[in-house]
A and B are shown apart, each in its own frame.
Chain A
Amino acid sequence: MNRQVAALLFGTATLFIAGCAVQGRPFEKASAPPDNAVIYVYRPYHYGSSLLRPAVTCGEDSARIGPGGYHAFVVPSGHEKIVCSVEGAETGDQVEIDPQTRVYYIREEFGWGVLTGHPHLNPVDTDQAHTEILDCFWFRHSSPCVQEP
């Protein structure tokens, strides 16, 4: 009886955890015209990941990225700095990116908040970002982040 309950709980937990992860095509490099910057915003699926999906905006493009997802923003790079921002219910975060930058990686994370999680946009080095994007789910080894529309 106890085994059956444990198995049921385990199955439900697995289904719950896997069910929260976003579905889509695995990570692939985006192509962009020469005068554009590509900004990859990805969100690794950690334990205790928040299910919040606030809109992330880079330039004029915006996307909602779920746990385990990424979005490639293709932004025209002029002379102005590119600003990526995310607004949570309590706080927000902003990152400025040099217009000369061709490829940039930002990790979206959620920290503790009083009532809801606080979104962070953390700029990440290319090497570290590649490693994290290719191993995006803590419960599925070597699974890359998946594309969010």
Chain B
Amino acid sequence: MTFLNSANADSRIKLYSYDSSGPASDGSWAGKRGVVMRVTFLLTLLLAAAVAYGCSVQQPAVAPAVAQAPARPLPFKGRLAQGDASELPSAVAMSLSSTSSVTFSYREELTHDDYHVPLIVSAFDPVTYVGAPLGDLGVTAFASLSIVDGDKVLGDYTAKVHVSKSYSLYSEPTHKEVEQAARAAVREKIDQKLYRDADRLAQAIAGSGTLPSRAADK
């Protein structure tokens, strides 16, 4: 009984001590709670910011994926049979000659595949206002180049490149920029294929009896 009483007494004391320290420690508890709330708020803010930026789709720059190599002419020259002289892969543009019997036929096609997040979704998505992508502009460029000597096809090259660029509330590219990037990338691909095959082409032209056009031009 005594034990129980003492136990009760202890508990009362504890309870009391808790209660008695109430008014004195209310300020410190409130202060602690305030600090905890502030830290929690800051952490939540940081987390939200991290999620907002971390979840946003990171797009590579519009620059073509193919590494740029210094352009150089082909070891032969050719005449442009099909295509626009101002819209050619560098290697072909630097190897044009109106007198050559070898002909170049170049063709490019662009297709677009834009994606836009529906307005009703992006309007209520907080990350929209932080600068998250609202969609992207995509362009696929397909190019084909044929090199023909008389009725003999010396080479047939095709390349396909897809370039896309996302846009946000604060910045967006124009379709023209994405188109030009896709064109540049696909021309670069054709150039690389041509450079890899240049020796074989030169041999084929030499073998077919066509004058090496460089020499012919000079």
Majority secondary structure, B binding face: mixed
The 0/1 profile, CB within 8 Å of A marked 1, for residues 160-186 of chain B is 000000010110101110011000000
CB under 8 Å from chain A, chain B span 106-144: 108, 110-112, 114, 116, 119-120, 122-123, 128, 134-135
Question: Chain A: residues with CB nearer than 8 A to chain B?
Answer: 46-48, 79, 83, 91-96, 98, 109, 111-114, 118, 120-125
A120 to B169, CA, bound (A): 13
Majority secondary structure, A binding face: strand
A93 to B167, CA, bound (A): 12
Least CB distance from A64 to B in Å reads 19
A113 to B128, CA, bound (A): 10
Considering the complex, give the chain A residue whose CB is closest to the CB of B84: A79
The answer to whether A47 and B116 touch across the interface, beta carbons within 8 angstroms, is no
The answer to whether A95 and B167 touch across the interface, beta carbons within 8 angstroms, is no
- Which residues of chain B come closer than 8 Å to A120, judged between CB atoms? 114, 116, 175
- Which residues of chain A come closer than 8 Å to B84, judged between CB atoms? 79
Given A111-B167, A112-B134, verify A94-B116 contact (CB < 8 Å): no
A111 to B179, CA, bound (A): 20
Given A79-B84, A122-B112, A123-B112, verify A112-B123 contact (CB < 8 Å): yes
The answer to whether B134 and A95 touch across the interface, beta carbons within 8 angstroms, is no
Q: Choose from A91, A96, A113, A114 the contact partner of B176 (Cβ within 8 Å).
A: A96
The answer to whether A112 and B119 touch across the interface, beta carbons within 8 angstroms, is yes
The answer to whether B172 and A91 touch across the interface, beta carbons within 8 angstroms, is yes
8 contacts between A and B (CB under 8 A): A79-B84, A93-B175, A94-B176, A111-B119, A111-B135, A111-B172, A112-B134, A122-B112
The answer to whether B112 and A96 touch across the interface, beta carbons within 8 angstroms, is no
Least CB distance from B138 to A in Å reads 11
- Which residues of chain B come closer than 8 Å to A91, judged between CB atoms? 172
Given A47-B120, A111-B135, verify A92-B167 contact (CB < 8 Å): no
Least CB distance from B3 to A in Å reads 70
Given A111-B134, A113-B169, A114-B169, verify A48-B175 contact (CB < 8 Å): no
Least CB distance from A66 to B in Å reads 18
Least CB distance from B180 to A in Å reads 8
A143 to B174, CA, bound (A): 30
Apart from the given pairs A95-B176, A96-B179, 12 other A-B contacts in the complex at a CB distance below 8 Å: A47-B119, A48-B119, A79-B84, A94-B175, A94-B176, A95-B179, A109-B116, A111-B134, A112-B119, A114-B169, A120-B175, A122-B175
